Copies of this chain bind each other. A is one copy, B any other.
Amino acid sequence: MSEIKDQSIQLFLDELASKSATPGGGSVSALMGAQSAALTSMVCNLTIGKPKYAKVEAEMQALLQKSEALREKLTGLIKADVDVFNRLMTAYGLPKETDEDKAARTEAIQTVLKAATEVPLECACACAEAIELSRCAANKGSLGVISDAGAAAMAGYGGLKSAALNVYINTGSLKDRQFAEVKLAELATILKDVDVAVEEIYQMVKAKL
């Protein structure tokens, strides 16, 4: 099957809606993050070169570099989410006839669960960065496309909160509680104050419309 990013949007939505287990919420969270980064890039691209915004040109160029790198990362996470989910399904499908089977299966599941925790955590972290980049776009970008900076903040927020759910699920099944607690603490740090930050960016955009 072709990689999701190379599929049409219609096919992606059809497969998302279908009874196949992937793609699911994890891919959607990475795609929302990628949409957020793309919107910030759009604001930069429509601000750069405008005489009225010459003073922020260098900042917009630097922001564009960051948002494009982040977009690439988040686009890659759409696939990473599907891959790790499929690995998890394979591990759960391992034989459990003998005690040896069971031990090997448990170990395989636990190993993949760590990866299945790290992928959405990476996605959450990237979405939080996308939100911060949208703040710069909302702050300094051309007023003609400022609403796109607000949409970038909302897409990043949707991606972050959705990714967090996948971190909660997978840490919940982890036997290595120390690993789980470290990852949950990282997530808590990422989530801290984000509701307030998104509301601030949104209100800043709304006030400029």
| Count of chain A residues near B, Cβ 8 A | 57
Given contacts A9-B7, A16-B35, contact A157 B158 (CB under 8 A): yes
A32: B residues at CB distance < 8 A: 32, 35, 154-155, 158
Please report the C-alpha to C-alpha distance between residue A154 and residue B78 in the assembled complex, in whole angstroms: 17
For chain A, residues 13 to 29, give those with C-beta under 8 angstroms from any C-beta of chain B.
Answer: 13-14, 16-19, 21, 24-25, 28-29
Please report the C-alpha to C-alpha distance between residue A4 and residue B9 in the assembled complex, in whole angstroms: 7
Please report the C-alpha to C-alpha distance between residue A80 and residue B168 in the assembled complex, in whole angstroms: 37
Min CB–CB distance A172 → chain B (angstroms): 6
A110 proximal to B (CB < 8 A): no
For chain A, residues 148 to 177, give those with C-beta under 8 angstroms from any C-beta of chain B.
Answer: 148, 150-152, 154-155, 157-159, 161-162, 165-166, 168-169, 172
Contact A8 B10 (CB under 8 A): no
User: What mask results when residues 59 to 73 of chain A are scored 1 for a CB within 8 Å of chain B, else 0?
Assistant: 000000001100100
Contact A35 B13 (CB under 8 A): yes
User: What mask results when residues 24 to 54 of chain A are scored 1 for a CB within 8 Å of chain B, else 0?
Assistant: 1100110110110111011001100000000
Contact B165 A206 (CB under 8 A): yes
Min CB–CB distance A81 → chain B (angstroms): 11
Min CB–CB distance A51 → chain B (angstroms): 15
Please report the C-alpha to C-alpha distance between residue A209 and residue B165 in the assembled complex, in whole angstroms: 8
Contact A169 B209 (CB under 8 A): yes
Q: Which of B6, B18, B205 contacts A10 (CB 8 A)?
A: B6
Please report the C-alpha to C-alpha distance between residue A21 and residue B45 in the assembled complex, in whole angstroms: 10
